[in-house]
């Protein structure tokens, strides 16, 4: 699977580095909510992609097995990989947005999120 692109720079108010996205302190919570909603939708899409990627033939005969082995599973794996990359990118972006809002590093935000989730 190919690597997830890095998150662009994020600036909230005067905190952060320019050259990417810039949000006011008043709008950052709404932006985070929109990206979290997208992440939730991608979780559903990822589950659906897994179903497609691991589909089983309806019968143990050549036509069904050949279709699944030669078409459905390889296409499903590509779909799954692309959805996983998008999922990872969006979650990384949400973490970066939260870090910028909290005026901390992404690593510190990841540690906070891990403590909250019990990981």
Lookup: tokens for 111: 């540690």
Q: How far apart are CA 108 and CA 57, in angstroms?
A: 46
Q: Across the chain, what does the average pLDDT equal? A: 91
pLDDT average, residue stretch 32-54: 95
State the residue range of the domain holding 62: 32-107
Whether this prediction's pTM lies above 0.85 is answered by: no
CATH number (domain holding residue 52): 1.10.287
Mutual angle of helices 73-102 and 28-53, in 10-degree steps = 160
15 within some domain = no
59 within some domain = yes
100 within some domain = yes
Q: How far apart are CA 48 and CA 83, in angstroms?
A: 10
Count of Cβ atoms closer than 10 Å to residue 11 Cβ? 16
77 within some domain = yes
Q: How would residue 94 be classed by pLDDT, with cut points 50, 70 and 90?
A: very high
**Tens-place pLDDT, residues 6-34:** 888 999 998 888 889 999 999 999 999 99
Bridge partners, 15 (sequence order): 12
Q: How would residue 117 be classed by pLDDT, with cut points 50, 70 and 90?
A: confident
* Count of structural domains, the chain: 1
73 within some domain = yes
99 within some domain = yes
75 within some domain = yes
pLDDT at 112 over 80: yes
Q: How far apart are CA 11 and CA 69, in angstroms?
A: 47
Pair type for strands 15-16 and 21-23 = unpaired
Please give the pLDDT value at position 1.
58
47 within some domain = yes
Q: How far apart are CA 49 and CA 66, in angstroms?
A: 20
């Amino acid at each position: 699977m190919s690597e997830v692109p890095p998150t662009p720079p994020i600036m909230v108010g005067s905190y952060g580095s320019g050259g990417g996205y810039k949000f006011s302190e008043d709008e950052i919570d709404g932006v985070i909510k929109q990206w979290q909603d997208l992440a939730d939708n991608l979780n559903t899409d990822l589950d659906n992609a897994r179903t497609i990627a691991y589909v089983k033939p309806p019968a143990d005969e050549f036509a069904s097995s050949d279709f699944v082995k030669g078409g459905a599973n390889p296409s499903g794996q590509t779909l799954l990989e692309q959805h996983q990359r998008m999922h990872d990118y969006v979650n990384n972006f949400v973490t970066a947005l939260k870090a910028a809002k909290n005026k901390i590093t992404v690593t510190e935000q990841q540690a906070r999120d891990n403590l909250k989730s019990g990981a």
